[in-house]
A and B are shown apart, each in its own frame.
Chain A
């Protein structure tokens, strides 16, 4: 009987523990670059900073895709595709599907889930987290397209109206602002480089504005 109870306990612990997945580091949107000649819109992720660890990869995905859609709309482009190198099948043409396909085992469907898009799940779509070392790192690339019968495309208008995607962005805004408050509360220490700290805060505020401007 003791063995049976122990077995049940161990099984229960194992199943509901989530196998101890650890969230990956954060990254914030810094800038994007439009190369109209090649019809590619390249969106570098900005610098990776382990001290600002609140915006999840899935939330970033929402921010970047919406930013892409806004840029495309300004250019009167109605449809786009996600770069094939990211290994996203062409049957995935909306944000909700993208999150569920790329992050099937985590809480990818929850807008405020920090764990969405962490650990091995990035491997499925190769949505890698890069540390920017040359300022040329590209995390995601969207490409101007035209809708066609044979292959699926993302609709700019559908992205802009996507409630799921907007929920992720709202959640990101909250976490980014909370992080801003948390940052200002960091106690000063004698060895702290004040200039670096001011620069860091300025960058954080700028990043938060970028997120604010999306809505």
Chain B
């Protein structure tokens, strides 16, 4: 009887302290991903570090190099002026559009918990269309960069149809 009760206590305690994780992925260009889609890892790390370095990361050569047929070139040209600044519409609206979304100002602060991570990869489908897959990982425990990468890779595979 004692053993049963003790095991019950331990199982209940383990339920309380179970590791939990939430995964949210956005496909920035809303394109379909097929089985032949190619992926390039862009970033795997904490969300806080990403926000601090978002401009550098999102303007990196890996991100901005066009796809096979330059499918997203138009999207970049639409949203950015020649010098790479956010266009005035986004700025005036105070929107999260383009890089303004990461340039924290006007007292706006993102809510970032200790264990929030981000995995970003670029995906190019067989049509040559490119997109960024940004996987936000919210955990109740600390996870390694390698686990972030693995989680991001698993999340992006679920988008393939």
Say whether B82 faces chain A, with CB atoms less than 8 Å apart: no
A162 CA to B5 CA, complexed, in Å: 46
Judge whether B25 and A91 touch: CB under 8 Å: yes
**Max chain B C-beta neighbours (<10 A), residue from A92, A144, A151:** A151
> CB within 8 Å of A: which of B114-130?
118, 130
Q: Which residues of B contact A93 (CB under 8 A)?
A: 26
Q: For the complex, give the distance between the alpha carbons of A47 and B15 in Å.
A: 41
Residues of B within 8 A of A91 (CB): 24-26, 118, 134-136
Q: Which residue of B lies closest to A150 (CB)?
A: B58
Chain B residues within an 8 Å CB radius of A4: 2, 5-6, 9
Partner among B8, B76, B118, B136 whose Cβ is within 8 Å of the Cβ of A148: B76
Pick the contact of B9: A8, A148, A155, A158 (CB < 8 A).
Answer: A8
Of B15, B24, B95, B135, which is within 8 A of A100 by CB?
Answer: B24
Pick the contact of B110 from A11, A89, A147, A150 — CB < 8 Å? A89
**CB atoms of B5 and A92 under 8 A apart:** no
By the criterion of a CB under 8 Å from any partner CB, how many residues of chain B are at the interface?
A: 50
**B154 → chain A closest CB, angstroms:** 16
Contact A150 B118, beta carbon cutoff 8 Å: no
Between A85, A93, A148, the greatest number of chain B beta carbons within 10 A of the residue's beta carbon is seen for A148
Q: In whole angstroms, what is the CA distance A79 to B79 when docked?
A: 13
Report which of B9, B90, B95, B111 forms a contact with A87, defined as CB distance below 8 A: B111
Q: Is A12 an interface residue (CB 8 A)?
A: yes
- Say whether A146 contacts B78, CB under 8 Å: yes
* Binary A-proximity of B68-98 (CB < 8 A = 1, otherwise 0): 0000100110110000000001101111111
Set of chain B residues within 8 Å of A126, measured between Cβ atoms: 111
A90: contacting residue among B26, B30, B78, CB under 8 A = B26
B63 at the interface (CB under 8 A from A): yes
A83, A124, A148: which contacts B98 (Cβ < 8 A)?
A148
Q: Does B19 contact A (CB under 8 A)?
A: no
**Residues on the A chain within 8 Å of B30, using CB:** 79, 147, 153, 155, 158
Q: Which residue of A is nearest B79, CB measured?
A: A148
Q: How far is the CA of A4 from the CA of B139 in the complex (A)?
A: 32
What's the nearest-Cβ distance from chain B to residue A19, in Å? 12
A-chain residues with CB within 8 Å of residue B142 when the two chains form the complex: none
Interface residues of B in 127-161 (CB under 8 A from A): 130-132, 134-136, 138
Q: In this assembly, does A34 line the interface, its C-beta being within 8 Å of a C-beta of chain B?
A: no
User: Which B residues are in CB contact (< 8 Å) with A79?
Assistant: 30
B63 touches A150 (CB 8 A): yes
Q: In chain B between 6 and 45, which residues have their CB closer than 8 angstroms to a CB of chain A? A: 6, 8-9, 12-13, 15-16, 22, 24-30
**Other CB < 8 Å A-B pairs besides A11-B9, A143-B97, A147-B28, 17 of them?**
A4-B9, A15-B16, A38-B92, A79-B30, A81-B95, A81-B96, A84-B95, A85-B108, A90-B26, A90-B96, A90-B134, A91-B25, A101-B22, A145-B90, A149-B131, A150-B28, A158-B30
> Can you list 21 A-B contacts (CB < 8 A)?
A5-B5, A38-B93, A85-B108, A89-B24, A90-B101, A91-B26, A91-B134, A91-B136, A92-B136, A104-B22, A143-B93, A145-B90, A146-B97, A148-B28, A149-B131, A150-B98, A150-B99, A151-B98, A152-B27, A152-B134, A153-B30
A binding-site residues for B, Cβ under 8 Å: 1, 4-5, 7-8, 11-12, 15, 38-40, 79, 81-85, 87, 89-93, 97, 100-101, 104, 124-126, 143-153, 155, 158
